[in-house]
Amino acid sequence: VTRIKIKELLDEGVARQDATVKGWVKTKRGSKNVAFIALNDGSTIRNLQLVVDLTQFSEEEVKHVTTGACISARGNVAESQGKGQSVEMLVTNLTVYGIADPEKYPLQPKKHSFEFLRDNAHLRPRTNTIGAVLRVRHALAFAIHNFFNSKGFYYLHTPIITGSDAEGAGEMFRVTTLSADNPPKNEEGQVDFKEDFFGKETNLTVSGQLEGEAGALSLGEIYTFGPTFRAENSNTSRHLAEFWMVEPEMAFYEQGENMDLAEEFIQYLVRYALENCKDDLEFLDKRAADEDKQKPQNERNEMSLLERLNFVVENKFERVTYTEAIEILLNSKPHKKKKFKYPVEWGIDLQSEHERFLVEKHFKKPVIVVDYPKDIKAFYMKLNDDNKTVRAMDVLFPGIGEIIGGSQREDNYDKLIQRMEEMDVPQEELWWYLDLRKFGSAPHSGFGLGFERMILFVTGMSNIRDVIPFPRTPQSANF
Ligand code: 4AD
Ligand code: MG
Protein backbone atom coordinates (compact mmCIF):
# COMPACT_ATOMS: atom_id res chain seq x y z
CA VAL A 1 0.00 0.00 0.00
CA THR A 2 1.43 3.37 -0.90
CA ARG A 3 0.91 6.43 1.23
CA ILE A 4 -1.99 8.74 0.48
CA LYS A 5 -1.85 12.37 1.53
CA ILE A 6 -4.45 13.41 4.07
CA LYS A 7 -5.71 16.22 1.83
CA GLU A 8 -6.45 13.76 -0.97
CA LEU A 9 -8.05 11.29 1.39
CA LEU A 10 -10.33 13.87 2.99
CA ASP A 11 -11.25 15.41 -0.38
CA GLU A 12 -12.20 12.03 -1.77
CA GLY A 13 -14.53 11.54 1.14
CA VAL A 14 -15.68 8.12 0.00
CA ALA A 15 -14.75 5.08 1.99
CA ARG A 16 -11.60 3.31 0.88
CA GLN A 17 -11.03 -0.29 1.76
CA ASP A 18 -7.47 0.21 2.68
CA ALA A 19 -5.19 3.23 2.96
CA THR A 20 -1.92 4.26 4.57
CA VAL A 21 -1.25 7.73 5.91
CA LYS A 22 1.92 9.14 7.43
CA GLY A 23 2.28 12.23 9.53
CA TRP A 24 2.69 13.88 12.91
CA VAL A 25 0.37 13.39 15.85
CA LYS A 26 -1.42 16.58 16.87
CA THR A 27 -3.42 15.22 19.78
CA LYS A 28 -4.46 11.93 21.31
CA ARG A 29 -7.52 11.45 23.49
CA GLY A 30 -9.91 8.67 24.31
CA SER A 31 -10.80 6.08 26.87
CA LYS A 32 -9.56 2.71 28.06
CA ASN A 33 -10.67 0.90 24.95
CA VAL A 34 -10.39 3.43 22.15
CA ALA A 35 -7.98 6.20 21.22
CA PHE A 36 -8.70 9.09 18.87
CA ILE A 37 -5.63 10.51 17.22
CA ALA A 38 -5.62 13.72 15.18
CA LEU A 39 -3.00 13.29 12.48
CA ASN A 40 -1.57 15.98 10.21
CA ASP A 41 0.85 15.52 7.33
CA GLY A 42 1.21 19.11 6.12
CA SER A 43 -0.84 18.58 2.96
CA THR A 44 -3.76 20.50 4.47
CA ILE A 45 -4.69 22.29 7.65
CA ARG A 46 -7.30 19.58 8.26
CA ASN A 47 -6.40 16.61 10.45
CA LEU A 48 -7.41 13.03 9.85
CA GLN A 49 -8.98 11.32 12.81
CA LEU A 50 -7.51 7.89 13.48
CA VAL A 51 -9.60 5.57 15.58
CA VAL A 52 -7.55 2.92 17.39
CA ASP A 53 -9.32 -0.01 19.02
CA LEU A 54 -6.99 -0.47 21.98
CA THR A 55 -8.16 -4.02 22.59
CA GLN A 56 -6.44 -4.94 19.30
CA PHE A 57 -3.03 -3.39 20.09
CA SER A 58 -0.47 -4.02 22.77
CA GLU A 59 0.39 -1.19 25.12
CA GLU A 60 3.90 -1.17 23.64
CA GLU A 61 2.48 -0.42 20.19
CA VAL A 62 0.53 2.67 21.22
CA LYS A 63 2.40 4.15 24.14
CA HIS A 64 4.72 6.18 21.91
CA VAL A 65 1.89 7.62 19.88
CA THR A 66 1.97 11.02 21.58
CA THR A 67 1.77 14.64 20.44
CA GLY A 68 4.63 15.36 18.05
CA ALA A 69 5.46 11.72 17.24
CA CYS A 70 5.71 10.73 13.61
CA ILE A 71 3.69 7.68 12.68
CA SER A 72 2.41 5.60 9.81
CA ALA A 73 -1.11 4.27 10.07
CA ARG A 74 -2.92 1.82 7.86
CA GLY A 75 -6.59 1.09 8.04
CA ASN A 76 -10.06 1.34 6.59
CA VAL A 77 -11.61 4.67 5.83
CA ALA A 78 -15.13 5.07 7.13
CA GLU A 79 -17.71 7.78 7.43
CA SER A 80 -17.17 9.74 10.61
CA GLN A 81 -19.69 10.33 13.39
CA GLY A 82 -17.69 13.28 14.68
CA LYS A 83 -18.70 16.74 13.55
CA GLY A 84 -16.53 18.73 11.16
CA GLN A 85 -15.00 15.71 9.46
CA SER A 86 -16.29 13.57 6.64
CA VAL A 87 -14.23 10.45 7.18
CA GLU A 88 -11.99 8.82 9.74
CA MET A 89 -9.63 5.88 9.65
CA LEU A 90 -10.18 2.69 11.60
CA VAL A 91 -6.59 1.70 12.20
CA THR A 92 -5.36 -1.84 11.65
CA ASN A 93 -1.59 -1.24 11.63
CA LEU A 94 0.48 1.34 13.42
CA THR A 95 4.18 2.13 13.11
CA VAL A 96 6.03 4.80 15.06
CA TYR A 97 8.80 6.37 12.96
CA GLY A 98 9.98 8.92 15.50
CA ILE A 99 8.95 9.37 19.10
CA ALA A 100 8.55 12.80 20.75
CA ASP A 101 9.07 12.67 24.50
CA PRO A 102 5.95 14.38 25.91
CA GLU A 103 8.01 15.82 28.75
CA LYS A 104 10.39 17.54 26.35
CA TYR A 105 8.50 18.21 23.11
CA PRO A 106 8.33 22.03 22.83
CA LEU A 107 4.97 22.14 21.03
CA GLN A 108 2.54 21.10 23.72
CA PRO A 109 -1.08 20.75 22.59
CA LYS A 110 -1.99 24.30 23.64
CA LYS A 111 -1.70 27.83 22.29
CA HIS A 112 1.87 29.14 22.15
CA SER A 113 2.94 32.74 21.75
CA PHE A 114 4.50 33.74 18.43
CA GLU A 115 7.64 34.82 20.32
CA PHE A 116 8.01 31.31 21.67
CA LEU A 117 7.41 29.80 18.24
CA ARG A 118 10.07 32.05 16.64
CA ASP A 119 12.62 30.51 18.99
CA ASN A 120 11.44 27.15 17.69
CA ALA A 121 11.36 28.05 14.02
CA HIS A 122 12.42 24.51 13.13
CA LEU A 123 9.27 23.02 14.68
CA ARG A 124 6.71 25.77 14.23
CA PRO A 125 5.58 24.72 10.71
CA ARG A 126 3.77 21.94 12.56
CA THR A 127 1.42 24.45 14.16
CA ASN A 128 -1.87 25.25 12.43
CA THR A 129 -1.07 28.92 11.94
CA ILE A 130 2.48 28.68 10.61
CA GLY A 131 1.58 25.65 8.50
CA ALA A 132 -1.24 27.63 6.89
CA VAL A 133 1.01 30.65 6.33
CA LEU A 134 3.70 28.56 4.65
CA ARG A 135 1.20 26.91 2.33
CA VAL A 136 -0.11 30.35 1.34
CA ARG A 137 3.48 31.51 0.88
CA HIS A 138 4.07 28.65 -1.53
CA ALA A 139 0.87 29.38 -3.43
CA LEU A 140 1.81 33.04 -3.85
CA ALA A 141 5.33 32.16 -5.05
CA PHE A 142 3.81 29.85 -7.63
CA ALA A 143 1.29 32.52 -8.65
CA ILE A 144 4.10 35.04 -9.20
CA HIS A 145 5.71 32.79 -11.79
CA ASN A 146 2.33 32.05 -13.33
CA PHE A 147 1.48 35.71 -13.69
CA PHE A 148 4.70 36.78 -15.34
CA ASN A 149 5.07 33.68 -17.46
CA SER A 150 1.60 34.22 -18.89
CA LYS A 151 2.62 37.76 -19.85
CA GLY A 152 5.85 36.73 -21.57
CA PHE A 153 8.20 38.02 -18.87
CA TYR A 154 11.44 36.09 -18.38
CA TYR A 155 12.62 35.00 -14.94
CA LEU A 156 16.09 36.52 -14.64
CA HIS A 157 18.48 35.36 -11.95
CA THR A 158 20.38 38.36 -10.67
CA PRO A 159 23.46 38.02 -8.46
CA ILE A 160 23.40 37.80 -4.69
CA ILE A 161 26.99 38.99 -4.43
CA THR A 162 27.40 42.44 -5.93
CA GLY A 163 29.67 45.46 -5.90
CA SER A 164 26.93 48.06 -6.21
CA ASP A 165 24.59 49.60 -3.69
CA ALA A 166 21.41 49.71 -5.77
CA GLU A 167 19.42 51.78 -3.31
CA GLY A 168 22.27 54.03 -2.23
CA ALA A 169 21.16 53.61 1.35
CA GLY A 170 24.37 51.97 2.54
CA GLU A 171 22.56 49.24 4.44
CA MET A 172 24.62 46.36 3.11
CA PHE A 173 26.21 43.21 4.48
CA ARG A 174 29.84 42.87 3.42
CA VAL A 175 31.03 39.68 1.75
CA THR A 176 34.53 38.39 2.43
CA THR A 177 36.65 35.54 1.13
CA LEU A 178 38.29 34.95 4.49
CA SER A 179 39.38 31.37 4.81
CA ALA A 180 39.31 30.15 8.36
CA ASP A 181 42.81 28.69 8.17
CA ASN A 182 44.62 31.54 6.60
CA PRO A 183 42.81 34.87 6.73
CA PRO A 184 44.69 37.73 5.06
CA LYS A 185 46.26 39.98 7.70
CA ASN A 186 47.37 43.60 7.60
CA GLU A 187 50.70 44.83 8.96
CA GLU A 188 49.36 44.97 12.51
CA GLY A 189 48.33 41.36 12.22
CA GLN A 190 44.62 42.11 12.14
CA VAL A 191 42.29 40.37 9.73
CA ASP A 192 42.24 42.40 6.53
CA PHE A 193 38.66 42.93 5.46
CA LYS A 194 39.80 44.86 2.41
CA GLU A 195 40.53 41.51 0.75
CA ASP A 196 36.78 40.92 0.42
CA PHE A 197 35.78 39.11 -2.77
CA PHE A 198 39.22 38.16 -4.11
CA GLY A 199 40.31 41.75 -3.86
CA LYS A 200 37.03 43.43 -4.74
CA GLU A 201 34.70 45.07 -2.27
CA THR A 202 31.40 43.23 -2.40
CA ASN A 203 28.10 43.03 -0.56
CA LEU A 204 24.97 40.96 -0.40
CA THR A 205 22.51 42.50 -2.81
CA VAL A 206 19.86 44.94 -1.56
CA SER A 207 17.95 44.66 -4.84
CA GLY A 208 18.26 42.92 -8.19
CA GLN A 209 17.00 45.99 -10.02
CA LEU A 210 20.16 47.30 -11.65
CA GLU A 211 20.96 43.93 -13.20
CA GLY A 212 17.26 43.57 -13.95
CA GLU A 213 17.48 46.72 -16.07
CA ALA A 214 20.20 45.08 -18.15
CA GLY A 215 17.78 42.19 -18.65
CA ALA A 216 14.89 44.44 -19.67
CA LEU A 217 17.08 46.35 -22.14
CA SER A 218 17.73 43.16 -24.05
CA LEU A 219 14.97 40.65 -23.32
CA GLY A 220 12.18 43.25 -23.12
CA GLU A 221 10.35 42.22 -19.96
CA ILE A 222 11.91 40.35 -17.08
CA TYR A 223 11.34 39.73 -13.39
CA THR A 224 13.60 38.71 -10.57
CA PHE A 225 12.41 36.83 -7.51
CA GLY A 226 14.97 36.13 -4.87
CA PRO A 227 16.42 36.94 -1.49
CA THR A 228 17.65 40.46 -0.79
CA PHE A 229 19.50 41.75 2.24
CA ARG A 230 19.34 44.93 4.29
CA ALA A 231 21.67 45.50 7.19
CA GLU A 232 19.22 47.72 8.99
CA ASN A 233 19.06 47.01 12.67
CA SER A 234 15.40 47.88 12.80
CA ASN A 235 13.13 45.94 15.05
CA THR A 236 9.79 46.54 13.45
CA SER A 237 7.08 44.10 12.50
CA ARG A 238 7.62 45.08 8.82
CA HIS A 239 11.40 44.69 8.38
CA LEU A 240 13.70 41.72 7.95
CA ALA A 241 17.45 41.62 7.35
CA GLU A 242 16.84 38.94 4.70
CA PHE A 243 13.64 39.16 2.69
CA TRP A 244 12.43 38.10 -0.73
CA MET A 245 11.66 40.62 -3.40
CA VAL A 246 9.87 40.34 -6.75
CA GLU A 247 11.19 42.88 -9.23
CA PRO A 248 9.70 43.16 -12.70
CA GLU A 249 11.54 45.46 -15.11
CA MET A 250 10.05 46.43 -18.46
CA ALA A 251 11.44 48.15 -21.52
CA PHE A 252 9.14 50.77 -23.08
CA TYR A 253 6.93 51.08 -19.97
CA GLU A 254 6.30 54.56 -18.64
CA GLN A 255 5.01 55.50 -15.22
CA GLY A 256 1.31 54.92 -15.98
CA GLU A 257 1.95 51.45 -17.38
CA ASN A 258 4.14 50.65 -14.40
CA MET A 259 1.24 51.52 -12.08
CA ASP A 260 -1.22 49.47 -14.13
CA LEU A 261 1.05 46.43 -13.95
CA ALA A 262 1.60 46.78 -10.18
CA GLU A 263 -2.14 46.94 -9.57
CA GLU A 264 -2.96 44.04 -11.86
CA PHE A 265 -0.17 41.95 -10.31
CA ILE A 266 -1.28 42.44 -6.70
CA GLN A 267 -4.92 41.77 -7.57
CA TYR A 268 -3.91 38.60 -9.40
CA LEU A 269 -1.97 37.34 -6.37
CA VAL A 270 -4.82 38.00 -3.96
CA ARG A 271 -7.35 36.39 -6.28
CA TYR A 272 -5.08 33.37 -6.71
CA ALA A 273 -4.86 32.90 -2.95
CA LEU A 274 -8.63 33.28 -2.53
CA GLU A 275 -9.22 30.61 -5.13
CA ASN A 276 -6.46 28.19 -4.15
CA CYS A 277 -5.99 28.50 -0.38
CA LYS A 278 -9.59 28.34 0.85
CA ASP A 279 -9.05 26.13 3.93
CA ASP A 280 -5.99 27.98 5.07
CA LEU A 281 -7.50 31.43 4.54
CA GLU A 282 -10.67 30.46 6.41
CA PHE A 283 -8.52 29.36 9.32
CA LEU A 284 -6.40 32.52 9.14
CA ASP A 285 -9.55 34.65 8.91
CA LYS A 286 -10.76 33.23 12.24
CA ARG A 287 -7.31 33.61 13.76
CA ALA A 288 -7.13 37.27 12.73
CA ALA A 289 -10.64 37.90 14.10
CA ASP A 290 -9.63 36.36 17.45
CA GLU A 291 -6.52 38.51 17.55
CA ASP A 292 -8.58 41.57 16.74
CA LYS A 293 -10.86 40.93 19.70
CA GLN A 294 -7.86 41.29 22.01
CA LYS A 295 -7.19 44.81 20.70
CA PRO A 296 -8.75 48.07 21.87
CA GLN A 297 -11.82 49.04 19.84
CA ASN A 298 -10.09 51.81 17.83
CA GLU A 299 -7.27 49.53 16.65
CA ARG A 300 -9.51 46.76 15.35
CA ASN A 301 -9.93 46.13 11.65
CA GLU A 302 -13.19 47.34 10.22
CA MET A 303 -13.26 44.40 7.81
CA SER A 304 -12.44 40.75 8.35
CA LEU A 305 -9.43 39.28 6.56
CA LEU A 306 -11.54 37.69 3.82
CA GLU A 307 -13.47 40.94 3.35
CA ARG A 308 -10.20 42.84 3.02
CA LEU A 309 -8.92 40.42 0.40
CA ASN A 310 -12.12 40.59 -1.61
CA PHE A 311 -12.14 44.36 -1.33
CA VAL A 312 -8.68 44.63 -2.87
CA VAL A 313 -9.62 42.39 -5.77
CA GLU A 314 -12.83 44.29 -6.50
CA ASN A 315 -11.73 47.93 -6.15
CA LYS A 316 -9.36 50.07 -8.13
CA PHE A 317 -6.43 51.53 -6.23
CA GLU A 318 -6.43 55.27 -5.60
CA ARG A 319 -3.71 57.22 -7.45
CA VAL A 320 -2.33 60.50 -6.10
CA THR A 321 0.81 62.55 -6.46
CA TYR A 322 3.09 63.10 -3.49
CA THR A 323 2.18 66.79 -3.57
CA GLU A 324 -1.54 65.95 -3.36
CA ALA A 325 -0.84 63.50 -0.53
CA ILE A 326 0.99 66.21 1.43
CA GLU A 327 -1.97 68.59 0.90
CA ILE A 328 -4.33 65.96 2.29
CA LEU A 329 -2.12 65.34 5.30
CA LEU A 330 -1.73 69.05 6.01
CA ASN A 331 -5.51 69.45 6.05
CA SER A 332 -6.20 66.42 8.23
CA LYS A 333 -6.19 65.64 11.90
CA PRO A 334 -5.21 62.01 12.43
CA HIS A 335 -6.79 61.79 15.87
CA LYS A 336 -9.22 64.18 17.43
CA LYS A 337 -7.35 67.49 17.75
CA LYS A 338 -3.95 65.81 17.70
CA LYS A 339 -1.35 66.24 14.97
CA PHE A 340 0.94 63.72 13.38
CA LYS A 341 3.95 62.83 15.50
CA TYR A 342 6.24 63.59 12.56
CA PRO A 343 5.43 67.10 11.22
CA VAL A 344 4.16 67.23 7.64
CA GLU A 345 5.69 69.49 5.05
CA TRP A 346 6.52 69.17 1.37
CA GLY A 347 9.84 67.35 1.08
CA ILE A 348 9.54 64.90 3.98
CA ASP A 349 9.78 61.18 3.50
CA LEU A 350 6.31 59.86 4.28
CA GLN A 351 6.37 58.09 7.64
CA SER A 352 4.36 55.03 8.36
CA GLU A 353 1.77 57.11 10.35
CA HIS A 354 1.24 59.25 7.23
CA GLU A 355 0.99 56.30 4.87
CA ARG A 356 -1.43 54.50 7.10
CA PHE A 357 -3.56 57.61 7.53
CA LEU A 358 -3.88 58.02 3.75
CA VAL A 359 -4.78 54.38 3.21
CA GLU A 360 -6.79 53.48 6.29
CA LYS A 361 -8.51 56.74 7.22
CA HIS A 362 -8.63 58.98 4.17
CA PHE A 363 -9.02 56.86 1.04
CA LYS A 364 -9.90 53.58 2.80
CA LYS A 365 -8.31 51.59 -0.03
CA PRO A 366 -4.84 50.85 -1.45
CA VAL A 367 -3.14 54.00 -2.69
CA ILE A 368 -0.43 54.55 -5.30
CA VAL A 369 1.61 57.68 -4.59
CA VAL A 370 3.74 59.04 -7.45
CA ASP A 371 6.15 61.88 -8.21
CA TYR A 372 8.12 62.13 -4.96
CA PRO A 373 10.70 64.85 -4.28
CA LYS A 374 13.97 63.84 -5.92
CA ASP A 375 15.96 64.34 -2.71
CA ILE A 376 14.27 61.48 -0.85
CA LYS A 377 14.47 58.89 -3.64
CA ALA A 378 17.19 56.82 -5.30
CA PHE A 379 19.54 58.18 -7.98
CA TYR A 380 18.16 56.07 -10.83
CA MET A 381 14.63 57.52 -10.89
CA LYS A 382 13.61 59.61 -13.88
CA LEU A 383 13.53 63.32 -13.24
CA ASN A 384 10.25 65.09 -14.03
CA ASP A 385 10.18 68.32 -16.05
CA ASP A 386 9.64 70.32 -12.84
CA ASN A 387 13.24 69.38 -11.87
CA LYS A 388 11.97 68.82 -8.34
CA THR A 389 10.23 65.47 -8.46
CA VAL A 390 11.01 62.03 -9.86
CA ARG A 391 8.78 59.37 -11.40
CA ALA A 392 8.73 57.27 -8.27
CA MET A 393 5.77 55.12 -7.33
CA ASP A 394 4.98 53.60 -3.96
CA VAL A 395 1.99 51.33 -3.43
CA LEU A 396 0.59 51.69 0.07
CA PHE A 397 -1.57 49.03 1.70
CA PRO A 398 -3.88 48.98 4.70
CA GLY A 399 -2.21 47.51 7.78
CA ILE A 400 1.12 47.33 5.94
CA GLY A 401 2.18 50.71 4.62
CA GLU A 402 4.57 50.47 1.65
CA ILE A 403 4.20 47.14 -0.12
CA ILE A 404 5.73 48.14 -3.47
CA GLY A 405 8.41 50.68 -4.37
CA GLY A 406 9.24 51.41 -7.98
CA SER A 407 9.79 54.02 -10.65
CA GLN A 408 10.37 54.91 -14.24
CA ARG A 409 14.17 54.89 -14.66
CA GLU A 410 16.36 57.73 -15.83
CA ASP A 411 17.25 56.66 -19.37
CA ASN A 412 19.18 59.79 -20.36
CA TYR A 413 22.93 59.39 -19.88
CA ASP A 414 23.72 63.02 -19.04
CA LYS A 415 20.84 63.41 -16.62
CA LEU A 416 21.78 60.19 -14.87
CA ILE A 417 25.40 61.28 -14.47
CA GLN A 418 24.19 64.58 -13.07
CA ARG A 419 21.95 62.85 -10.51
CA MET A 420 24.81 60.55 -9.49
CA GLU A 421 27.08 63.52 -8.97
CA GLU A 422 24.46 65.39 -6.96
CA MET A 423 23.87 62.35 -4.77
CA ASP A 424 27.51 61.27 -4.42
CA VAL A 425 26.88 57.91 -6.04
CA PRO A 426 30.22 56.41 -7.08
CA GLN A 427 30.34 56.00 -10.86
CA GLU A 428 33.31 53.64 -11.25
CA GLU A 429 31.66 50.39 -10.18
CA LEU A 430 28.47 51.32 -12.06
CA TRP A 431 30.25 51.75 -15.42
CA TRP A 432 28.21 48.90 -16.85
CA TYR A 433 24.96 50.48 -15.66
CA LEU A 434 25.95 53.70 -17.40
CA ASP A 435 26.74 51.72 -20.55
CA LEU A 436 23.05 50.79 -20.72
CA ARG A 437 22.34 54.51 -21.29
CA LYS A 438 25.12 54.81 -23.87
CA PHE A 439 24.19 51.89 -26.06
CA GLY A 440 20.59 51.51 -27.10
CA SER A 441 18.94 53.17 -24.12
CA ALA A 442 15.15 53.14 -23.92
CA PRO A 443 12.41 54.35 -21.60
CA HIS A 444 11.87 51.64 -19.01
CA SER A 445 10.26 51.11 -15.63
CA GLY A 446 9.97 48.59 -12.87
CA PHE A 447 9.11 48.00 -9.25
CA GLY A 448 9.85 45.79 -6.28
CA LEU A 449 7.22 43.95 -4.27
CA GLY A 450 8.29 42.90 -0.78
CA PHE A 451 7.18 39.27 -0.83
CA GLU A 452 6.82 38.97 2.94
CA ARG A 453 4.77 42.16 3.13
CA MET A 454 2.46 40.69 0.50
CA ILE A 455 2.14 37.51 2.56
CA LEU A 456 1.42 39.61 5.65
CA PHE A 457 -1.48 41.21 3.84
CA VAL A 458 -2.90 37.97 2.46
CA THR A 459 -2.59 35.98 5.68
CA GLY A 460 -3.61 38.76 8.07
CA MET A 461 -0.57 38.00 10.24
CA SER A 462 0.81 40.83 12.36
CA ASN A 463 4.55 40.25 12.34
CA ILE A 464 6.77 39.75 9.30
CA ARG A 465 8.86 37.22 11.26
CA ASP A 466 5.95 34.84 11.19
CA VAL A 467 5.56 34.69 7.40
CA ILE A 468 9.09 33.53 6.47
CA PRO A 469 10.28 30.06 7.50
CA PHE A 470 13.51 31.17 9.18
CA PRO A 471 13.48 34.92 9.90
CA ARG A 472 16.83 36.66 9.89
CA THR A 473 16.68 39.45 12.41
CA PRO A 474 19.09 40.53 15.12
CA GLN A 475 17.09 38.34 17.53
CA SER A 476 16.79 35.11 15.52
CA ALA A 477 17.55 32.00 17.51
CA ASN A 478 17.91 29.48 14.69
CA PHE A 479 21.07 30.51 12.86
O1 4AD B 1 11.43 50.39 -1.81
P2 4AD B 1 12.56 49.43 -1.99
O3 4AD B 1 13.81 49.66 -1.19
O4 4AD B 1 12.86 49.43 -3.55
C5 4AD B 1 13.87 48.79 -4.19
O6 4AD B 1 14.69 48.05 -3.66
C7 4AD B 1 13.82 48.96 -5.68
N8 4AD B 1 15.14 48.64 -6.22
C9 4AD B 1 12.74 48.10 -6.26
C10 4AD B 1 12.62 48.23 -7.75
O11 4AD B 1 12.20 49.27 -8.25
N12 4AD B 1 12.96 47.20 -8.50
O13 4AD B 1 12.05 47.97 -1.67
C14 4AD B 1 10.96 47.43 -2.38
C15 4AD B 1 10.00 46.74 -1.43
C16 4AD B 1 9.38 47.66 -0.39
O17 4AD B 1 8.26 48.33 -0.93
C18 4AD B 1 8.98 46.69 0.69
O19 4AD B 1 7.77 46.03 0.37
C20 4AD B 1 10.09 45.67 0.62
O21 4AD B 1 10.69 45.77 -0.66
N22 4AD B 1 11.13 45.88 1.65
C23 4AD B 1 11.29 45.11 2.75
N24 4AD B 1 10.61 44.04 3.18
C25 4AD B 1 11.02 43.47 4.32
N26 4AD B 1 12.07 43.87 5.06
C27 4AD B 1 12.80 44.96 4.66
N28 4AD B 1 13.84 45.35 5.38
C29 4AD B 1 12.41 45.62 3.45
N30 4AD B 1 12.87 46.68 2.75
C31 4AD B 1 12.10 46.82 1.67
MG1 MG C 1 10.83 52.08 -0.84
**pLDDT by residue, tens only, the chain of 479 residues:** 589 999 999 998 877 889 999 999 999 999 899 999 999 999 999 999 999 999 999 999 999 999 999 999 999 999 887 777 789 999 999 999 999 999 999 999 889 999 999 999 999 999 999 999 999 999 999 999 999 999 999 999 999 999 888 887 778 998 887 666 666 677 887 776 655 677 788 899 999 999 999 999 999 999 999 999 999 777 899 999 999 999 999 999 999 999 999 999 999 999 999 999 999 999 999 999 999 999 999 889 989 999 999 999 999 999 999 999 999 999 998 877 678 999 999 999 999 999 999 999 999 999 999 999 999 999 999 999 999 999 999 999 999 999 999 999 999 999 999 999 999 999 998 999 999 999 999 999 999 999 999 999 999 999 999 999 999 987 777 77
Say how many Å lie between the CA of residue 405 and the centre of ligand 2. Answer: 5
Ligand nearest to the CA of 372: 2
The CATH number linked to 39 is 2.40.50.140
Atom from ligand 1 closest to the CA of residue 453: 19
Quote the pLDDT of residue 178.
67
Going by alpha carbons, the residue nearest to atom 28 of ligand 1 is 239
The answer on 371 and 397 residing in a single domain is yes
The CATH number linked to 361 is 3.30.930.10
The answer on 393 and 252 residing in a single domain is yes
Ligand nearest to the CA of 444: 1
The answer on 36 and 10 residing in a single domain is yes
Say how many Å lie between the CA of residue 404 and the centre of ligand 2. Answer: 7
Ligand 1 pocket by Cβ (under 6 Å): 166-167, 207, 209, 230, 232, 239-240, 243, 245, 247, 402-406, 446-448, 450, 452-453
Quote the pLDDT of residue 177.
73
Residue ranges near ligand 2 (ion) with Cβ within 5 Å: 405
User: Which domain range does residue 439 map to?
Assistant: 126-171+206-466
The answer on 93 and 226 residing in a single domain is no
Give a three-class secondary structure readout of the chain. CCECCHHHHHHHCCCCCCEEEEEEEEEEEECCCEEEEEEECCCCCCCEEEEEEHHHCCHHHHHCCCCCCEEEEEEEEEECCCCCCCEEEEEEEEEEEECCCCCCCCCCCCCCCHHHHHCCCCCHHHCHHHHHHHHHHHHHHHHHHHHHHHCCCEECCCCCEECCCCCCCCCCCEECCCCCCCCCECCCCCECHHHCECCECEEECCCCHHHHHHHHHHHCEEEEEEEEECCCCCCCCCCCCEEEEEEEEEECCCHHHHHHHHHHHHHHHHHHHHHHCHHHHHHHHHHHHHHHHCCCHHHCCCCCHHHHHHHHHHCCCEEEEHHHHHHHHHCCCCECCECCCCCCCCCCCCCHHHHHHHHHHHHCCCEEEEEEEHHHCCCCECECCCCCEEEEEEEEECCCEEEEEEEEECCCHHHHHHHHHHCCCCCHHHHHHHHHHHCCCCCEEEEEEEHHHHHHHHHCCCCHHHCCCCCCCCCCCCC
The answer on 256 and 318 residing in a single domain is yes
Say how many Å lie between the CA of residue 407 and the centre of ligand 1. Answer: 12
Ligand nearest to the CA of 171: 1
Q: Which of 110, 143, 159 is the last residue of a domain?
A: 110
Q: Assess if residue 69 is contained within a domain.
A: yes
The answer on 98 and 227 residing in a single domain is no
Say how many Å lie between the CA of residue 31 and the centre of ligand 2. Answer: 58
Q: Assess if residue 389 is contained within a domain.
A: yes
The answer on 161 and 93 residing in a single domain is no
Residue 424: exposure state from Cβ atoms within 10 A (0-12, 13-18, ≥19): exposed
The candidate with the shortest Cα–Cα distance to 280, out of 396, 167, 133, is 133
Atom from ligand 1 closest to the CA of residue 248: 12
Say how many Å lie between the CA of residue 297 and the centre of ligand 2. Answer: 31
The total number of structural domains that make up the chain:
2
